[in-house]
Structure 1
Amino acid sequence: MREAMMYVILMLLIISTTQARDCYSNEECTDCNDLLQKFRNGELTRSQLVDDQCRSTKSSGFTCCKPAKEVANNDQNDENSPAYLPRVEDHKCGQFLDSSNIVGGEDAKPGRYPFTAVLGSRYYNSTQDKYIYTWRCGGTIINRWYILTAAHCYTSSNIRAISKEYVNVGDYDLSTEKDCLPGGRTCLEPNQIILVQEVKNNKDFRRSPRGGVDYDISLVKLTKKIETNKYVRFVCLPLGLPNELRRLNINNYEQDIIGVRAHAIGWGYTTTNFTLDSNEDSKSKTGSKFAKDIQQKVDLPILSNNECEKLFDNRLSFDDGKRMCAGGEQGKDSCKGDSGGPLVINKFVKSTKNLVPDQEESVWVQVGLTSFGSNKCGSGKPGVYTRITKYIDWIKQNLN
């Protein structure tokens, strides 16, 4: 090990100072034995090791390391545990606090969807002499340690460069440092940007031979806990518990939600490799690949599996129920959500199927996450979503 250390030090000595970096608040600058061993085994490249070299101790060969993993806490009833999954009856998920009287339009109300997250990477811009975040996908907060998103949001190159991957929670306007309501008297609490520790893509995730992708779901574990507040809360997952179904006035998450006008929330990121038509990239003024800097929402009807297959000319199969679709309205913009972002429902009016989240005991339940669809907004093609109910057991098994 000592010989390996000396070899690494000699390599690092010839690297310019611009390639070293300051350690993040949740890292240590030390002789990172795990990194050195990975380098010796060929699991880590020279450039990857260089990326983690400490700026303050360049000549020592020290690198920025994530802290040792905490003692596992798999208590499913402890809110601080990675294994915790909140339930509607415990009043720990799906709640929200509107901080604005904005009515209608496409902008979401600040605070109405406090469970949303954006995912992306951080890189050093030498021209501006600062770190830049580029956001590419959406996700949802399911507990203090985990974000639920789509597997296609994390390619093998993203996972290899995990030290550059971050999650942003509590944000509303991506173009501002501080999110305030008109007048400036009321502001949201500062957003939290947290380093990713591990990405758990479903092992069966793959491109589908009939188009799109299968098993498009992933869990993203963070290096430190999310601090919840009025504007950062957990979403409820569709566990199918009696109290949860009673709140929504349904008996199941299949037939009983057909036609319900669910809300897709996000910043409009629609650029993926899995669309069924031509792909056009769009960037906001922040430089991110989101169409909007302010969080958006759109209501879309949930369709039956048969309707979904017809609208996709039987190119996609919905037989196993592991995916669902929503939208399909000609002229209505169905590209407001993010890849990996949520499709949620709440209480709804039986006759119109419109959500009524302002009623007493209203609670947000995530029934789908955005997988793929058409980039031609308003073309009449619905969006395709991973159906969450089919993955509850998988989620529980991987929360650790």
Structure 2
Amino acid sequence: MIRSLIVLATLGSPAFSLVLYLEEGENCGYGGKCRRLSECPTAQADLRAGRTPVICSFDALLPIVCCHPEAAPDLESDWATTSKRPANRPTTGRPSGRTVSQRMCEKYKQYVFREEQVPTLTFDPQIEKIDECGRIEQTLIVGGSEAKSKEFPHMALIGYGSQPRIAWLCGGSLISERFILSAAHCSNPGSKGPAKWAKLGVLDMKNDRGNHEIVAKIVERFDHPSYNNIQLYNDITLFKLENDIQLNPWVRPICLQTNFDFGQPAAIASGWGHTQWGGGPTNRLQKVKLNIVDNDSCNSSYQASIGKQLPNGIVESTMLCAGDEEGKDTCQGDSGGPLQIPLRSPYCMYAIVGVTSFGRACAQNYPGVYTRVSHYRQWIEKIVWPGQ
């Protein structure tokens, strides 16, 4: 049985997703150590049950997995169920049991795969599921790198004006067949009028060769009822599309982060915004890994702004901050786009933890501020999945 499991890994099976780049014997989190697959009964049991072991590294073609002495806590637990929190953390946005968002996330994971009819010698052709996961776990946008095809299939461009001269000025995230999550300040930002269009399935704005591009009309905008354009709080909106989107491996929703805590010190931002302060937007979708910044440090960075726009400072229950000392950041044009974390389960899915909201000059050692999605879960669910 062990030999068959090893063959499964060496053939590039989707049974493995995360790669930690740790050596054999190193700690890999949750009390686990990196071990050979052949020496890890819990990882073998995971494979037999259809779960995805986390890979530390490879010895030639043989996987070194993150091995736990007993059933490993899945990263889904940090996303989907209650976890421990420091006593001083807010309690808002902490659901118990499975939420509507979690059930829908399980539903949308099916679109990671493409069905293909396989010819046989019988009169009954077989349907084979082809893995189309494009997620890349080596997460290296200012200071970022180019995204790959299908890596962020939930990414949306938000457009303003009339065809054929649509101005694509904001980002967003597809969260269902009909709705895109974005920032409220992207709803009606200025002289070009309200958001009217969404473009999905795009990697390169000027030269997309995948033929998966979808342009959809926005018919309703749901700004959060507590948002106003003077202060910077509750900067979150939902865009309803005219028709349901036909989901596929290139265009499929992102999961909602349902808990305040998400158990990871960093997250990934993505967008087509400016790659430097005062520069121009990029045609190619960019990604960047950003460290989560604690609320006290973030408040210190924005002390001079606490007043008319931030009278209560950075509110931890509804906002989170992320940045990088090496000059990595989101920038103009990234507004409304996602700050996301990869999930171990469901396979090949991300959870959106934040919506890009505001910051000072890009990559100037000030963290960016993101609207904390978990706080708004129930508001989102009531609009997107009523009656579920």
**Distance across 1 between alignment mates of 2:314 and 2:262:** 14
Structure 2: 5+ residue runs without aligned partners?
Answer: 1-99, 113-131
Q: Match for 2:337: what amino acid? A: G
**Distance across 2 between alignment mates of 1:199 and 1:168:** 16
In proportion to residue count, which structure has more strand? 2
Secondary structure of the residue aligned to 2:256 is coil
**Distance across 2 between alignment mates of 1:239 and 1:97:** 23
The answer as to 2:270 corresponding to 1:265 is yes
- Displacement of 1:341 after TM fit? 0.2
1:196 and 1:221 in contact (8 A); partners too: yes
- Displacement of 1:336 after TM fit? 8.1
- Displacement of 1:268 after TM fit? 1.4
- Displacement of 1:136 after TM fit? 0.5
2:101 and 2:258 in contact (8 A); partners too: no
**Distance across 2 between alignment mates of 1:234 and 1:153:** 20
2:185 and 2:229 in contact (8 A); partners too: no
* Aligned residue in 2 for 1:172: 203
C-alpha root-mean-square deviation of aligned residues, in Å? 3.3
- Displacement of 1:92 after TM fit? 2.8
**Distance across 2 between alignment mates of 1:337 and 1:374:** 14
2:274 and 2:334 in contact (8 A); partners too: yes
**Distance across 2 between alignment mates of 1:328 and 1:342:** 17
**Distance across 2 between alignment mates of 1:380 and 1:93:** 40
Residues 384 and 94 (structure 1 numbering): CA distance in 2 closer, same or farther, change over 3 Å?
farther
2:159 and 2:166 in contact (8 A); partners too: yes
* Aligned residue in 1 for 2:67: none
* Aligned residue in 2 for 1:384: 369
* Aligned residue in 1 for 2:89: none
Residues 100 and 307 (structure 1 numbering): CA distance in 2 closer, same or farther, change over 3 Å?
closer
TM-score, normalised with respect to structure 1: 0.57
**Distance across 1 between alignment mates of 2:111 and 2:269:** 15
* Aligned residue in 2 for 1:351: none
* Aligned residue in 1 for 2:38: none
Q: Match for 1:150: what amino acid? A: A
**Distance across 2 between alignment mates of 1:335 and 1:157:** 18
The answer as to 2:160 corresponding to 1:121 is yes
Residues 198 and 336 (structure 1 numbering): CA distance in 2 closer, same or farther, change over 3 Å?
closer
Deviation string for 1:92-148 (max 9, x for gaps)?
389562299999561011110000000012435xxxxxx222101000001010000
Residues 265 and 94 (structure 1 numbering): CA distance in 2 closer, same or farther, change over 3 Å?
farther
The answer as to 2:77 corresponding to 1:92 is no
- Displacement of 1:327 after TM fit? 0.3
Structure 1: 5+ residue runs without aligned partners?
Answer: 1-82, 125-130, 180-187, 241-252, 272-278, 284-290, 348-356
**Distance across 1 between alignment mates of 2:147 and 2:202:** 12
**Distance across 2 between alignment mates of 1:102 and 1:165:** 35
2:159 and 2:167 in contact (8 A); partners too: yes
**Distance across 1 between alignment mates of 2:377 and 2:139:** 34
What pairs up with 1:157-168 in 2 under 5 angstroms?
165-168=196-199
Deviation string for 1:350-396 (max 9, x for gaps)?
xxxxxxx7x99343100000000023x32101110000000001111
TM-score, normalised with respect to structure 2: 0.59
Residues 292 and 214 (structure 1 numbering): CA distance in 2 closer, same or farther, change over 3 Å?
same
Number of matched residues? Answer: 258
